Structure 1
Amino acid sequence: MAENQTIVIALKESFIVRVLVGKTRDAGISCEYVPCIINEIFKKLDDSSMVTLYMDEGDIPGDDILHFLVDKLSEKSMQMILIGEQNDLQQVSKLIPGDLIYSVFSRPVDNATYVNTIKDYFTKVRLGEFKKSILVVDDDPNYLGIVREWLKDKYKVFMANSGLQAIKWLGKNKVDLILLDHEMPVTSGPQVLEMLRSDEETKVIPVMFLTGKGDKESVMKVVALKPEGYFLKTIQKDELLDKLEEFFILHS
């Protein structure tokens, strides 16, 4: 994915679309028009990190296009800008989750504000503000360090070396997922999960257990606690990243 590259998707390359593309390029941001065709969008999405969907009055993309965009943006952790008439924006917004929409503009668009919005988005991307956040809880500092190294490029990673430290940290902070060691001294993983589920502020945070025991009896004990999932500690980096990406896509 290119760091500063965006595409403008529209049913036709109108004068206004050409102006938007030109103003964006003038600001030093790579930008091009892409017709509202799934195959054409697919070819350009891998090289982009921001999408603008431009709609002339009544020119709303079909549901197949919108569903495709939702799936791909969720998969790539990207967001989009919507431009159109108020009625069209309301109709399209019903099919696009709010967390995928970065900004909405009613026509006519103020070009300077539009370009500044794209600049603001790329600044936030560089600062990692759109990354999902994960708290890793484990009493083994070496394992904490390994997992952090694996995840830090794609996620905001926080660490706690005990269950009580995790509970205290979560009293002041929010995360999108907790990776929780099942076998910890003093306060075990199951005890931590029980405390999290009994608190209004933390009960909705997804929890996945980390366990070093892969035998059937141990796994059944973990599953019986009804976490969102579990990983054996023998899992390798690529598999862990794939599983986490799959989890966030399904829960976006």
Structure 2
Amino acid sequence: MHEKIVFIGNDKGFVYGSIKKGLEEQGFNIISVNSDIAYIMGKESESKIWLLYIENEVTDYVKIFEYIKKAVISNDVMLYLIASDSEIRDVHRYIPEHLIKHAFEKPVDMSSMYKYFSLMVLKQEEVEQEKSILIVDDDPSSLRALSDFLSVKYKVYMANSAMNAIMFLTKKKVDLIILDVSMPVVDGTQVFQMLQDEPSTRDIPIMFLTGNSDKDVVMNVLSLHPVKYLLKSMEPDKLILSIDDFLDSRK
């Protein structure tokens, strides 16, 4: 397998050592990184899979959280967490839930975690050649739900604001953007215009997604000529089918 995992924590600790050894026995290449911002910086160039083990007070990790959050948004890092239930909730104050791929609750069920990572790698290999989608939505529950549906078949990226989306697209190109119309600060229609004005993104197809079926809103959005207009109230199967049909037509 030989998949690399950046494992952040107390690299001298007993539990950390046990988890590291177990992952290595499963065929993973573990990059041990002490939970110090100086050691963490730049590790995204070594692996995009990061596992953070929370051992101290959550407030001790604030600078680390800030760096990891940027790495997830800007550098395609996939963050996994080992923490207690209360620690997981506290971490969400610094890193939004939708940016964390999965949280393993302490005490860790080692066999389940090893199985999870093994399946994750297999799935990653399967979707490596699949189409990629960026979902832009400020609603975490909507963002996560749509991501869960689509990630079965596609490589899915998420952004919870217009600026995060634009920052992401400066580094990575996708096959489709699903863009929420109603977002604070910069709304979906403004983002659409910005992407159309930029040579590097103007050819990426964009679908609008909204919970507002008001006629005036719909007409305003359609006047921009997106490839499709999707309502959040649509049945998940129909919504996914619309996306499938469009992407299949572009193969």
TM-score, normalised with respect to structure 2: 0.54
Q: Which residue of 1 aligns with 2:195?
A: 229
What is the one-letter code of the residue matched to 2:19? Answer: L
Judge conservation of contact 1:10–1:34 (CA < 8 Å) in 2: yes
Change (3 A) 1:84 1:99: same
Q: Which residue of 2 aligns with 1:14?
A: 13
The 1:70/1:102 distance shift into structure 2, 3 A limit, reads same
What is the aligned partner in structure 2 of residue 132 from structure 1?
A: 133
Paired position in structure 1 for 2:178: 176
- Which structure's CA Rg is the greater one? 1
Q: 1:124 to 1:7 in 2, by over 3 A?
A: same
Query: Where do 1:19-34 residues align within 5 Å?
Result: 19-34=18-33
- What stretches of structure 1 of length at least 5 have no aligned partner? 135-150, 159-174, 178-195, 198-202, 209-226, 245-252
* Corresponding residue number in structure 2 for 1:95: 94
Residue 176 of structure 1 aligns with an amino acid whose one-letter code is I
CA distance in 2, matches of 1:81, 1:19: 17
Give the equivalent residue in structure 2 for 1:39: 38
Q: Deviations over 1:144-203 (max 9, x none)?
A: xxxxxxx9xx55526xxxxxxxxxxxxxxxx436xxxxxxxxxxxxxxxxxx97xxxxx9
Q: Which amino acid aligns with 2:197?
A: F
Q: Whole-Å Cα distance in 2 between the matches of residues 74 and 52 of structure 1? A: 16
TM-align CA RMSD: 3.4
Note closer, same or farther for the CA distance 1:95–1:130 as it changes in structure 2 (3 Å cut): farther
Structure 2: segments with no counterpart, 5+ residues: 136-168, 182-186, 205-251
- Corresponding letter in the other structure for 2:133: K
Q: In the alignment, is the contact (CA less than 8 A) between 2:50 and 2:80 conserved in 1? A: yes
Q: Rate the CA distance shift 1:61–1:30 in 2: closer, same or farther, 3 A.
A: farther
Q: What's 2:79 paired with?
A: 80
Rounded to whole Å, the distance in 1 between the matches of 2:111 and 2:93 is 27
Structure 1 residues 230 and 204: alpha-carbon distance in aligned structure 2, compared to 1, 3 A threshold: closer
Distance 1:22 1:130, change over 3 A: farther
The aligned residue for residue 103 of structure 2 is 104
Q: Are 1:132 and 1:155, in contact at CA under 8 Å, matched by a contact in 2?
A: no
What residue number does 1:157 align with?
Answer: 175
Per-residue deviation at 1:60?
5.1
Per-residue deviation, 1:130? 9.5
Matches of 1:60 and 1:51 in 2, distance apart?
20
Against the structure 1 CA distance between its residues 21 and 49, is the aligned structure 2 distance closer, same or farther, given a 3 Å change threshold? same
Identity between Structure 1 and Structure 2 (%): 18
Q: Deviations over 1:96-139 (max 9, x none)?
A: 122221111121101111112222332333314794349xxxxx
Q: Counterpart amino acid of 1:49?
A: K
Amino acid paired to 1:97: P
Q: Taking structure 1 as reference, are residues 155 and 120 closer, same or farther at Cα in structure 2, changes over 3 Å only?
A: farther
1:118 corresponds in structure 2 to 117
Q: TM-score, normalization: structure 1?
A: 0.53
Q: Match for 1:132: what amino acid?
A: I
Question: 1 CA distance for matches of 2:79 and 2:10?
Answer: 16
